[in-house]
Amino acid sequence: MLGFGKKEEKKPKYNGWDIQNRLFWTEGWGSMALAILAALTIRWLLLEAYVIPSGSMFPSLLKNDHIFVNKMTYGIRAPFSEKWMVKFREPERGEVIVFKYPKEMSTFFIKRIVGVPGDKVKFENGVLFINDKPQEKVVPQSSRDFDFLREDDFKSEGGYQDTKANYVHFTENLESANGRTVSHSILMRKGDILGFPGDGEWVVPEDSLFVMGDNRYNSHDSRFWGFVPQKNLLGKASFIWLTCDEMLPVISMICNPLTIRWTRLFNTVQQ
């Protein structure tokens, strides 16, 4: 005997572009749009990832260090603009920043602030002076911030092979404007450095910064191309989330997992 069950109700067909349907926001195109919007908001407002392309910040930052930059440290900018919506505080000496290179705004640089508006900056024979006061340099008790550098790390972009033996490692005690001392590692070249092209004296104008690399004799910085307008500021370097000796040969933006520097993961940037 055949039984007669309840007639099954047909569910209305889901239209993939029906924004009033809950599935559009949980499983459809709406969920993808929300994910993209969240990622762009985080990048604009909170954090952005950058890869260190050169050795200008040795030994504080190494080539192929992947860092996160805090975008909210100094304030909030209008999206796709250099105008501040709100400013929280001014940049300080000793802080490591990412900024748009003044000579080519599509290029991003990372350097350390050594001069803020009104400062008199002088670099002479390897000594940094701030407002006529030499910044203290000491030989660190431990060389652990220098020993891990390899000979290959001293190869220039043009292929010239320098050697680690030509450099000496110091800790520089940079005085911040608020009286705080920022201790960070720097590299200096041994031997006669008189007449170095980067020697000079500058007074930092309003709304500008004077920046230098920690690898003092292998850094293209304010000594050569001038001041950084504060409107070019993108954020403050925060921590290393990934780092490796080599990138993959085919996909040059991805670390070779066999060469990851495990001991540097999640290290904060010296500042």
Q: Exposure pattern of 88-110 as b/e (b: 16+ CB <10 Å)?
A: eeebbbbbbbbbbebeeeeebbb
Give the residue numbers marked as catalytic.
56, 111
CA–CA separation, 53 vs 107, rounded Å?
Answer: 11
Query: What residues have CB less than 8 Å from 265, skipping those under 6 apart?
Result: 240, 241, 242, 243
**CB count in 10 Å sphere of residue 245:** 16
Q: What's the length of the chain? A: 271
In which residue are the tokens 């950084």 written?
228
Q: In what order do the strands lie in the sheet with 127-130?
A: 133-134, 127-130, 120-124, 200-203
Query: What residues have CB less than 8 Å from 61, skipping those under 6 apart?
Result: 52, 67, 96, 110, 214, 237, 240, 269
CA–CA separation, 4 vs 9, rounded Å?
Answer: 15
Full DSSP string of 224-239: HH--EEGGGEEEEEEE
